[in-house]
């Protein structure tokens, strides 16, 4: 091993804050176990970091994209979604918006992207619009609200699911606008919604910030429309038919 290699190994130990190992580096290197120890430490820290990021992301259970039936939606830009899975948009601090009716796979796709981001070293957080805005609106203290907004601003990728399924007050609209503004051009946000942007005034009635909110959200964003029937309804119908067949077979 060259002197440069030895220095690289020692730098790895210093980066891991293994100060005792650095202080006794020559002895450890001569004993022949220093590199193995560094490999163990780096691998264990990477494993624990991944577990922590997956837990913090709160992605939940989801169907992998490899099992996604691309032919089922009547409209779905698969190439655009696969491009998002390459995660370049996170490095560009760009956004993505999935628009479509209930059950066409918007949340599934968003969860896949978030999970892939975490597996590739990014921080992510998945939350529903109702949970996010309900939590923020319930905070009375200004300092506590700043801390919670900072919590939602911090991840490299924030997924806000199901915008448009409920109606919100002006305070909810202001809070969402504040969060999107904090993340604007610095962090990436994915939003899933069942409403076209022209209908967001119905989601946030009388809120003056809606136009500005949408403007910041869609600037430098990939907006993907997904159309079709509900996949969950399709699965429920298939399960019902299967059970009916099993009952007929038992009677026979």
- For the ranges 13-22, 103-112, 137-146, 173-182, the lowest mean pLDDT is seen at 13-22
Same domain, 189 and 113: yes
In a domain, 250, yes or no: no
pTM tops 0.75: yes
- Measure the CA–CA gap between 1 and 65, rounded to whole angstroms: 45
Same domain, 26 and 81: no
How many C-beta atoms lie closer than 10 Å to residue 207's C-beta? 21
Using one digit for the tens of pLDDT, what is the confidence trace for 196-230?
999 999 999 989 999 999 999 999 999 999 999 88
Name the average pLDDT for the chain: 90
Same domain, 153 and 216: yes
DSSP class per residue in 195-244: S-GGGHHHHSTT-TTHHHHHHHHHTTEEEEE-BSS-HHHHHHHHHHHHHH
Burial 49-67 (b: 16+ CB within 10 A, else e): eeeebeeebebeeeeebee
Using one digit for the tens of pLDDT, what is the confidence trace for 112-168?
999 999 999 999 999 999 999 999 999 999 999 999 999 999 999 999 999 999 999
Alpha carbon of residue 33 to chain centroid: 39
Alpha carbon of residue 152 to chain centroid: 12
The pLDDT assigned to 234 comes to: 67
In a domain, 242, yes or no: no
Same domain, 169 and 122: yes
Same domain, 116 and 192: yes
Same domain, 214 and 101: yes
Same domain, 43 and 69: no
Same domain, 35 and 98: no
For the cut 70, the answer to whether the pLDDT of residue 3 exceeds it is: no
Task: Give how many domains the chain has, as a whole number.
Answer: 2
- For the ranges 25-29, 50-54, 223-227, the lowest mean pLDDT is seen at 25-29
Are the C-beta atoms of residues 13 and 36 closer than 8 Å to each other? no
Boundary of a domain, candidates 55, 75, 94 = 55
For residue 50, what are the domain limits?
A: 3-55
Find the CATH number of the domain harbouring 210: 3.40.50.300
């Amino acid at each position: 091993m060259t002197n440069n290699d030895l220095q690289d190994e020692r730098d790895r130990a210093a980066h891991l804050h293994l100060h005792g190992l650095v202080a006794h580096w020559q002895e450890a290197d001569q004993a022949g176990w220093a590199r193995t120890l560094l490999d163990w430490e780096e691998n264990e820290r990477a494993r624990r970091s991944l577990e922590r990021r997956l837990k913090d992301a709160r992605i939940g259970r989801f169907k992998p994209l490899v099992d996604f039936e691309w032919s089922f939606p009547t409209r779905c830009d698969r190439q655009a979604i696969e491009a998002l899975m390459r995660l370049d948009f996170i490095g560009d601090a760009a956004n993505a918006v999935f628009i479509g009716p209930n059950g066409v796979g918007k949340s599934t796709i968003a969860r896949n992207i978030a999970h892939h981001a975490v597996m590739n070293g990014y921080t992510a957080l998945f939350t529903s619009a109702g949970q996010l805005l309900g939590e923020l609106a319930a905070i009375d203290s200004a300092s506590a609200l700043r801390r919670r907004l900072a919590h939602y601003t911090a991840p490299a990728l924030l997924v806000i699911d199901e915008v448009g399924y409920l109606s919100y007050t002006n305070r909810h609209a202001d809070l969402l606008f504040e969060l999107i503004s904090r993340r604007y051009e610095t962090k990436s946000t994915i939003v899933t919604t069942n409403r076209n942007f022209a209908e967001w005034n119905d989601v946030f009635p009388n809120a003056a910030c809606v136009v500005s909110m949408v403007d910041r959200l869609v600037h430098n964003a990939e907006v993907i429309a997904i159309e079709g029937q509900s996949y969950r309804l399709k699965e429920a119908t298939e399960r019902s038919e299967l059970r009916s067949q099993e009952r007929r077979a038992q009677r026979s």
